[in-house]
Structure 1
Amino acid sequence: MLLVVALAWAAIQTGRFVLPPLLPEMRADLSLTLTQAGIVLTVFNAMYAVSQYPSGRLSDILTRATLIVPSLIVLVLGSLLIGSSTNYPLILIGAGVFGVGMGMYAIPSRALVSDLFVEHRGRALGILGAGADVGGGLAAGLAAVVLAIATWRTPFFPLAVALGGLAVLFVVWNTEPYAVERTRLGALETMRRLIATPGQRWALLAFILFYFMINGVLSFLPAYLREVKGFSPLLATVSYALLFALGIVVKPIAGGVSDRFPRRQVATAGMLVGAIALGVLLIAGSLVGVLIGIVLFAVGYKTQFPVVDALLMDAAPDGNMGGDLGAARTVFLGVGSLGPAFVGVTADRYNYTVAFAGLAVCLIVAAAILFWQGRQ
């Protein structure tokens, strides 16, 4: 089950990360401004965020499989809509549908893995998270091919086929029952539990800032490398792929380290490395300097994902693990979804450097919050 869930997550992330390297081509084809492109990516991230709490809570009350299978069907539909988009409204709708499907899948899949691997939760979540980096690497490879021989729409049709096939595999291998019944989500009770203490509230703020930063950087990094650093489309795509290649290694290691040492300290160290990396990226004037910045940034930000998930699951009651994780991620991903819009608007008004510098400040503040909490 870990294998099929991780493969599906990799396919989903392929769809998510194939757009940023192709953003200049999509903008040219659909006549989009940087602000409009940022809004498309923000719509995706916002829908990804808001669907996580209900899917997580329902997976607690019903079963994990009851949410996972429909999510894959929604993702197939979203892929087809994006690939068929011919104007700004249609790409917004396609991005929104894909975001809903991804949000429906994200929490039940994590909860299923957490159910299966209790004592090695951090490492198992790191392996699942590494699926995102496999998908990101595939996305970069697809983008490189597309830039050479096809259009930006091309990857989404085979992606729909792959997601449909993985849905079939999940149904074949799944041993959980499927359940459909009326239920109460209990959103207010869950939110009260999440913000019950000052420490929890500060931690949520830190993760909001982190996701605001990462959504902004990942959405526009290939375009930044092309338009500011002078990289060719192929070199920008390969540099983008480097993030995911490193993530395949970093995430399981970071998850395992967080099983042995305090998770907040591991997260703080990763954020500090990420902030330094953004500084290097902004001031680097050579290919080597930019690549060093990208490597450091990958190590810093990839550390966060299994650690953040494990922190939230550690604090959640057993009967509401999916709900608590979904609610927390809805909060910090919901606000964090504004990151691409921030970069698009700021780059339109000023430039990419100002936008990325603002994101670096967000990461420094987030690291400071976690460091301060760790001393309490």
Structure 2
Amino acid sequence: MSKDAPPHISGTPESSAKARARKLRMPPLRRRRLEFDDVNVVDKAMMKKAVGGTVVGNTMEWFDVGVYGYLAVTMGAVFLSDADKDAQLLFSLGVFAATFIARPLGGVVFGRLGDRIGRQKTLAITLIMMAASTFIIGLLPSYDTIGIWAPILLVLMKLLQGFSTGGEYAGATTFVSEYASDKRRGFLASILDLGSYMGFALGAAVVSVMQLLLSESDMVGWGWRIPFLIAGPLGAFAIYFRLKIEESPAFQATLDAQEASAKAGDETESLGTMGIFRAYWRPIVLAMVLVAAVNSVGYALTSYMPSYLTDSKGYDPVHGTLLTIPVLVVMALCIPLAGKLSDRIGRRPVLWIGAGSTIVLAVPAFMLIGQGPVATTLLGLLLLAVPVTFYVGNLAATLPSLFQTSSRYGAMGISYNVATAVFGGTAPLIMQGLIALTDNDMSPAYWLMFTSVAGAIAVIFMKESAQRPMPGSMPSVDTEAEAYELVAGQDENPNLDVDSLPFDTLGSQQGTQSDADPAPAGTADHR
């Protein structure tokens, strides 16, 4: 070897001795300690505004979705009036399912947008599109007026609805989860689903009032339009509140860090859609299976049951809708309790309760509904609402905790909407098709049991996220006293892994959460 070779390449005894000497002079590596300024203390005023603005918008979005479900029989008669009743119902449910075809595309587009320009702006866009498309449905001419163009226009508007909704739930859950403190994330995120099911209940109430006041011919002639037209003023009200909320601290910290890196000439390239899937394919698959289980039973109760009661059980449209309203209201009020329970005992145990109660209660629920009397039907619906409560009360906090902040909206958009499109939107069509195929009114119960077995298995592979920081974020607490307590007890806290916190990537940022750079493909942090 040349005598001019650099010392760090040379293998001579002299160079080795110098290396050992340098190593001895180096100070020992010190483990990074959590300090007070590393901890995000939640701004309570901003938190209330964020939750309120998101819930109002979410309620309005699901009012729009629910109205169509409760008018499924009427919509078939309006937009395919020359077909028999079975074909009309299948068409109407098929249009409802077609809405979900556009959801994965909306999830991808709005997910990428939300990770680039922010959650708040993207959520405002989705709400504007949803309100506009719903309002336009109320103005569409019927089949008797323009023939085949009527169902075509209906499908187009429902596809636009689905496209906008694809960015709504993923964005709303991401937004509130990033705002919430670690110990209250389950409770605060579950309030979103309280708004969702209250939106369904509000849609059912409006449709029921119309059905009580109007004859069936008037409903088919013009009454069906009113619930859709209400979306105009409701949408304006919800958009006003949503524009008042501010960006989440966790995402703002990510934007600040990316801006600082760009100024330093160390700009990182964000993950594209395929990059997100490669980096997070394991948690994405787990999320899809869980969402399939949750939405199968959830949409069975909200979107399918009114049609099931009317078409299979002989209830008139008014009672088929009215019977679901008290169940939805009671369930909506109980959802935050399930979210709060998950903050105490963990997400996984409560999700298992949801899966187990579906497996145990699905058959008794459908048996009671099939008895005929109103009392047993209500009891059957309440039994079906039990697993939905435990499932849904945890979903909004569980799913965002599977992904890093910098790619969370995009990953949520993919996982939630693909699963919802395949198993949620098609749930009414699948269950009605199973009844037609088997001539057995109990077949929907067996389908719900099957999907919940898959959901229970998925939970086994999920790591607990309750009372822990979001992946890639610093700890978040409600008060300064909690921040000091967290710092003082960091070595004994079983819910805090200091070594996994993103100190070196973003550094500490006073008063805000931080986020690590996206994990490279195949190395995502799945804790």
Same fold at TM > 0.5: yes
Of the candidates 163, 178, 184, which is equivalent to residue 235 of structure 2?
Answer: 163
Query: Contact between 2:289 and 2:455, CA under 8 Å: does it hold in 1?
Result: no
TM-score by length of 2: 0.64
Q: How does 1:106-185 map to 2 (within 5 A)?
A: 106-119=169-182, 120-148=184-212, 149=214, 150=219, 151-171=223-243, 173-176=244-247
How far apart in 1 are the matches of 2:107 and 2:459? 28
Q: 2:180 & 2:358 partners in 1: Cα distance?
A: 29
Paired residues of 1:34 and 1:348 also in contact (CA < 8 A): no
Q: What's the offset of the Cα at 1:47?
A: 2.0
SS across alignment from 1:196: helix
Alignment partner of 1:266 out of 335, 344, 350 = 350
Aligned structure 1 segments of 4 or more residues deviating by more than 4 angstroms: 176-179, 347-352, 370-375
Aligned residues with identical type, % of pairs: 20
User: 2:92 aligned with 1:5, yes or no?
Assistant: no
CA distance in 2, matches of 1:59, 1:364: 31
Question: In the TM superposition, what are the counterparts of 1:356-375 in structure 2 within 5 Å?
Answer: 356-370=444-458, 373=461
Q: Match of 1:259, SS?
A: helix
> What displacement does 1:367 show?
4.6
**Pick aligned residue for 1:187 from 252, 273, 286:** 273
What's the offset of the Cα at 1:368?
4.3
Change in Cα spacing, 1:130 to 1:301, as seen in structure 2 (3 Å) is same
> What do the CA deviations read for 1:72-120 (whole angstroms, capped 9, x no partner)?
2211221123212322212211111111222222222222212221321
Aligned 8 A contact 2:293 2:451 in 1: yes
Q: Cα distance 1:302–1:319, how it changes in 2: closer, same or farther (>3 A)?
A: same
Mapped to 1, the partners of 2:317 and 2:421 lie a distance apart of 31
- The partner residue of 1:330 within 417, 421, 429 is 417
Would the aligned equivalents of 1:111 and 1:321 in 2 still touch at CA under 8 Å? yes
Going from structure 1 to structure 2, the CA distance change for 1:73 and 1:226 (only over 3 Å counts) comes to same
Report the equivalent of 2:156.
93
What do residues 316-337 of structure 1 show as CA deviations (whole Å, max 9, x unaligned)?
1132222222222123113223
Do 1:246 and 1:299's aligned partners in 2 also have CA atoms closer than 8 Å?
no
Per-residue deviation, 1:283: 1.6
CA drift of 1:261 comes to 1.8
Distance 1:77 1:167 in 2: 11
2:36 aligned partner: none
Take 2:376 and 2:63, find their aligned partners in 1: how far apart are those partners?
Answer: 27
Amino acid at match of 1:271: A
Matched AA of 2:193: G
Structure 1: any 5+ residue segments left out of the alignment? none
- 8 Å CA contact 1:50–1:334 kept in 2: the answer is no
Cα pair 2:53 2:245 within 8 Å, conserved: no
Q: In structure 2, do the counterparts of structure 1 residues 27 and 328 end up closer, same or farther at CA, with 3 Å as the change threshold?
A: same
Equivalences for 1:22-33 in 2 at 5 Å? 22-31=71-80, 33=88
Indicate the SS of the match to 2:226.
coil
Deviation of 1:344 (Å): 4.2
Q: Equivalent residue for 2:109? A: 54
Question: What pairs with 1:330-349 in structure 2 (closer than 5 Å)?
Answer: 330-336=417-423, 337-349=425-437
CA–CA distance in structure 1, aligned partners of residues 285 and 270 of structure 2: 25
How far apart, in 2, do the equivalents of 1:13 and 1:40 lie? 16
Q: Distance in 2 between matches of 1:320 and 1:365?
A: 29
Determine the structure 2 residue equivalent to 1:208.
292
Q: Among 97, 100, 103, which residue is 1:45 paired with?
A: 100
Structure number with greater CO (CA < 8 Å, separation at least 6) is 1
Residue 310 (structure 1) aligns with: 397
Distance 2:107 2:303 in 1: 20
Aligned residue in 1 for 2:496: none
Higher alpha-carbon deviation: 282-291 or 251-260: 282-291
- TM-score, with structure 1 as normaliser: 0.88
Three-state SS of the structure 2 residue aligned to 1:229 is: coil
Structure 2 unaligned residues grouped into runs of 5+: 1-48, 81-86, 143-149, 256-268, 464-527
Per the alignment, in what secondary structure is the counterpart of residue 174 of structure 1?
coil
Over 3 Å counting, the alpha-carbon distance change for 1:358 and 1:38 in structure 2 is farther
Contact in 1 for aligned 2:301/2:385 (Cα 8 Å): no
**Cα offset, 1:138, TM superposition:** 0.7
User: 1:77 & 1:374 partners in 2: Cα distance?
Assistant: 38
Name the amino acid aligned to 2:341.
V
Q: CA deviation at 1:221?
A: 0.6
Cα deviation code 1:297-354 (max 9, x no counterpart):
1121132224123222222113222222222212311322332332344445555715
Read off the aligned partner of 1:169 and give its amino acid letter. F
Q: Which has the larger radius of gyration?
A: 2
CA contact (8 A) 1:20 1:219 kept: yes
Shift of residue 217, structure 1, vs aligned partner:
4.9
Could you tell me how far 1:10 is from its partner in structure 2? 0.8
